[in-house]
Structure formats: structure tokens, C-alpha cells
Amino acid sequence: MSARMLQKVLREQEQLLTRQENENENDSDADSIDSRPTRPAANPFDLLDAEEDANELSEVGSPQDDSQQNSVEDKVDMAVSSVKTKKKKKKKKKNEEKVAYVDANTKDESIDLQLERLSVSEAGASSVVSSEIPTPTGNSKGRCILQKCSTQILAIDPKFLRAEDELRRIFGSKVVNAFENSHNSGNSRRKQVPRGGVHNYHIRRTILVAASDHWPRWDGGLSMEHIETKGLKYFRYTPSSSYLDAQKKFEAAKGINDLQGIAFVLVQHPYHVESLLALADAFKFAGEYQRSAEAIEKSLYALECAWHPLFNPIRGDCRLSYSCDSNKPLFLALLCHMQNLDRRGCHRSALEVCKLLLLLDSDDPVGAQFYIDYFSLRAKQYEWLELFADQFVSDNSLWLLPNFSFSLAVARFYLECEAPMKQSQVQTDSVPSIDLLKQALMLHPLVLKKIVDKAPLKDGAWLQILKHPHFAYAEAGSPSLEHLIQIYVEKNYIIWRLPELHKWLKDAAMQVIQTVNQDKGEAKDWACVRKEAFPSDKNEYSHLSIINFADSVPPPVDM
């Protein structure tokens, strides 16, 4: 709306106010009208907000209200006299009135109409469970609410995002600083500032990694463009002409496995991301894990420097599609960075990076949901893991996946252990951890055999347990489930080495055997559930490499 139109609207509303006051004050003379207190200067945009509020109040108000015909004028008068009122109070009042309206008419309305009329606030949406909200076909409002639930449960805490900050919390600043000083002195020659002796530029501060002083200036080879906004903001990376030239040289060197050619590309273009990722893989397989991690951090630094001014993944409203080739390096760099954080013991930072991967693309192209339970347990975020399993929106229930069926039982086990220490009781409506573990063993009996072999769990009782038909003849039943079980065992087997979990798992397995002996039909029921949850004859997760989830690092090789 132009400035002239705003002024016209403002004048009309002032005239309405004058006429209304003249009608209500027949006993007053013209002097009393002129002696009214001077009104504060009104912002036209606040006036328009007030009109919208008045229209909404006229819809939700009682039809028997005698002053309904004057609601617009009264609302405008209130807006003009309280321009400085905070916007948060307006939203809170509107939400309360709308919720009251829905409660009064819930019996006669369909779920579609309720979702359209009910505006869930940001504070209230975080408590909505995805399994309790139906999503009718074509109901964009319902999908929006479900999407908001996933976004809020994946809220990223910047203070836990960088490894350096977590290491200082674990070991203290003095220990970390002493280690960094000794490391810098041992590599002083490599970290000398070349030629000029002093940097004539400023190293940018980024949220993902801490850039080193010896890194070269960011060359600006990548940029990011805003594609569209449809409730969420969608972006993609755009390479410059010089970056495309470096990409051609990189592909030529990669085609003949020329590592020196890739290194030469980095001499000319130090922030060519694909070359940095390839060099990081070469360092990792050569046993140079620290240099590999530095190459990954360099790539993340370059990718973050290219972010669009509107791109802020911390807010949760920005998306990058993995299907776009120019966006794929960021996902691969974050995945490698998350794995490096895991090896360094920075599990809380790895959890925040895992959240970021899920936020950027809800299709989860790199399998972040098969890491997130492990990092939650290692970071002792047990309550958050349960909330995530309830509120995260996916095609299937997370409780049916092998990693979540067992990890949620472990989370509940530790919550029960912490309850006496916190002088609080576990919620009475929560399922005991032993029952959750028994359900997991009934649904995925093949996991037990693989965990006992992989951990390994050395106890004579396991020989008798694994001889029982329920475990001895256990099969996945589908390629997809078999692949997911292998992923879970490779990533989470180390958790079951803890003595308290070892004993707990053994007790649960023996109780499962007793249950199956008493009622063989129950095992068949769980087999039917397993078959319905994973019906495909194809491996739907073949794009997820088991090597990426393995705890062990490949042995060093000669470069």
C-alpha cells in the first residue's frame, strides 16, 4: 500500500472517531471537543494491524453483544491511543480468544475446520505430539503445524555447536589452551603467515567451526541465492566462474585418481570445497586424522562464508534441497564433521550438527535420524530423545526403527536411574524401561544376536539365551530392515558394553523367552508388525553406507 493510501485510511478513521464521539457526547459543547488530550502520533502500520485484530474479534465475539456494531471504531480508538503496546501481548490475546472459540464449537466441527481456525502459537506448538495430530489429504494447515513441531524439537543451541566450546566445558579452559599452545608450537613452521609476515585481513567468525589464523583469505568462489519463500525460505549455492574452472580441474584429477592434481587445485583455489573433501578422505585413510578434520573445517568455513544474509539455520526456517548438486557439499561436509566430533568425544556438538542436517532437508538424505539417538544417549539428553521420537514427523513411526526401539528403552532406563537422585518420581503413565526393551527384543530379535557378537558380551548365559528359537532363527525379513539393523549395531554396540546395561539386557532377554514359551502367538503378532512396517523387497536405505556408521576407522594406507 502506498503512502497516500495509508494517509487516506488514517484520515477516514479519524473522521469515524470524531463522529462517534459527537454522537456519544450530545451534552458537551464544541469547546469540550477541542480540549481533548492530544493523541500520540500513530504508526499507520499499527493501525492496519488494529483493523485486522478488530475483524478477527468481530468473528469470534458473541452474537448477542449490543456493542458489536461499534467494535471496529472502538478497536481503532484503542490502537491509536496505545501505539506503543508490545506486539507479543496482541498475539497472546488473539490466541486465547481463538482457543476459547474452538473449545465452544469442537463438537460440531470437523478436524479440518478446527485446524484452519486454530492458530497455534510458537510456545504452544512445541508441546503438540505428531502422532496425535491427523494430517488429512490436502490440508496444508495441518502439514504446517506438523512441520512446526519438527522444527521446534530440532531447535539448535549455538553455544553447544562448536567442539572447542564443549572441550572447554569438559576439561576446562586451562587444559585446552595448554594443548592448543603446545600443538601450535609444534607446527609453528606450517602455521607461519607467508610472505607479508602479518595478515592484512580479518578472519571471519563463524558458528560451525573456529577458523585458524593461518588460513588464507576466503576467496568468495561460492555464493548463495534465495530461491523462494513458501512458509520456509529455500536457498541454493551458486558457484562463480573461477570456481567452475577449479571444478573442471578437480574432476579431471579425480578421474585419474591424481591426488597431486587435487592438491594443485587447492594451491590456486584454497577453498574449493570438493577438493577439500577429497583431500580429507585421503588424509583419513592415511591415518592423518587431524589434518583430515582440518580440511573438513576449512570446507565448512568456506560454505558458511557464502551464506545469504537471510540464511540463518539457527532459526529453523531455512532449507537447502539435497537434490540440488551445488548444495550436496554442505551435507557431506557436515556429515564428516559430525563423525570427527564423535571421535573427539564431543557428542553434544555432534548432536547439534545432526539436528542441523535434519533441519536443512526433511528428507534426511544422509541418514541423520540413524545417528541422532546415539548422540542423544552419549550426550545424556534422555528426555529430549523421548520428545524427539514423539514430535518428529516422518513417514513411519520412529518407534518401529531398530535404533529407536532400543535407544528409547535405554533412555527410559537412565531416566529411571536419575529419578531417585532428583528426588522425583517417574511419570506414572510412562512405560517401564524393561517393558520397552522386551518390546524391542520381540520386534527385532535379530539385534540381540548381532550385539552379542559385535560387543562382544562374554557371559555363559548368552549361549543358552541365543539357542532359544526366538533368537536362534531370527531373521530380518526384508533387505531394508536388515540394513537398518546392521547400521544400528555398527553405531551403538559400544553402549551395551556398560555393566548395568549388560545385566539389564540379559534379564529382559530371559523374560522374553518366558513370554514366548507361554504364548507363542505373541511372537507371531510381533512378526506381523515387523512385516507390515518393512514390507518392501528392496533395500530402501541402500544409499546409506554402513562404513559411515562404523565406530572403527579404516587402517592407514600409503598415500
Residues 393 and 542 in one domain: yes
Whether residue 55 has pLDDT greater than 80? no
> For residue 291, which of 187, 435, 412, 361 has the smallest C-alpha distance?
187
- Could you count the other beta carbons within 10 Å of the beta carbon of residue 355? 23
Domain boundary among 329, 353, 377: 353
Residues 320 and 397 in one domain: no
Domain boundary among 320, 353, 386: 353
Residues 327 and 371 in one domain: no
Whether residue 85 has pLDDT greater than 90? no
Please check whether residue 241 lies inside any domain of the structure: yes
Whether residue 145 has pLDDT greater than 60? no
Residues 167 and 266 in one domain: yes
Instruction: Cell numbers for 476, please give them.
Output: 530380518
Of the pLDDT bands very low, low, confident and very high (cuts 50, 70, 90), residue 419 is: confident
pLDDT, average across residues 24-49: 45
More confident residue, 126 or 502: 502
Residues 389 and 334 in one domain: no
Of the pLDDT bands very low, low, confident and very high (cuts 50, 70, 90), residue 163 is: confident
> For residue 376, which of 384, 367, 364 has the smallest C-alpha distance?
384
Pairing mode, if any, of strands 318-320 and 222-230? unpaired
Whether residue 277 has pLDDT greater than 50? yes
pLDDT for the residue 154? 93
More confident residue, 2 or 253: 253
Identify whether the C-beta of residue 462 lies closer than 8 Å to the C-beta of residue 496. no
Residues 249 and 392 in one domain: no
pLDDT for the residue 73? 44
Please check whether residue 175 lies inside any domain of the structure: yes
Please check whether residue 547 lies inside any domain of the structure: yes
Please check whether residue 190 lies inside any domain of the structure: no
pLDDT for the residue 167? 83
Query: Which residues, other chains included, contact 492 with Cβ-Cβ below 8 Å and sequence gap of 6+?
Result: 373, 374, 377, 403, 406, 407
- Whole-Å CA distances, 383 to 410, 414, 534: 11, 10, 28
Identify whether the C-beta of residue 262 lies closer than 8 Å to the C-beta of residue 250. yes
Least confident of 17-26, 121-130, 429-438, 534-543: 121-130
- What's the total number of domains in the chain? 3
Residues 47 and 174 in one domain: no
Least confident of 96-110, 158-172, 293-307, 444-458: 96-110
Please check whether residue 33 lies inside any domain of the structure: no
Least confident of 68-82, 344-358, 426-440, 462-476: 68-82
pLDDT for the residue 51? 44
The whole domain housing 252 covers 158-180+203-353
pLDDT for the residue 239? 96
Of the pLDDT bands very low, low, confident and very high (cuts 50, 70, 90), residue 331 is: very high
pLDDT for the residue 182? 66
Whether residue 555 has pLDDT greater than 80? no
Domain boundary among 298, 319, 353: 353
pLDDT for the residue 151? 77
pLDDT, average across residues 374-392: 95
Please check whether residue 433 lies inside any domain of the structure: yes
Of the pLDDT bands very low, low, confident and very high (cuts 50, 70, 90), residue 121 is: very low
Using DSSP, state whether 108 is helix, strand or coil: helix
Residue 371 one-letter amino acid: Y
pLDDT, average across residues 16-43: 51
Residues 445 and 540 in one domain: yes
Report the percent of the chain where pLDDT is more than 70.
Answer: 65
Residues 227 and 344 in one domain: yes
In whole angstroms, what is the distance from residue 3 CA to residue 14 CA? Answer: 17
Least confident of 46-60, 364-378, 510-524: 46-60
* pLDDT per residue as tens digits for the range 390-403: 988 776 689 999 99
State the CATH number of the domain containing residue 290: 1.25.40
Residues 324 and 372 in one domain: no
Residues 269 and 385 in one domain: no
pLDDT, average across residues 268-273: 96
More confident residue, 268 or 168: 268
Please check whether residue 61 lies inside any domain of the structure: no
Q: Which of 63-72, 183-192, 273-282 has the highest mean pLDDT?
A: 273-282
Whether residue 185 has pLDDT greater than 90? no
pLDDT for the residue 10? 56
pLDDT for the residue 104? 41
Of the pLDDT bands very low, low, confident and very high (cuts 50, 70, 90), residue 58 is: very low
Residues 372 and 501 in one domain: yes
Please check whether residue 134 lies inside any domain of the structure: no
Cα 344 versus chain centre, distance: 22
Identify whether the C-beta of residue 282 lies closer than 8 Å to the C-beta of residue 291. no
pLDDT for the residue 24? 56
Of the pLDDT bands very low, low, confident and very high (cuts 50, 70, 90), residue 14 is: low
pLDDT for the residue 140? 40
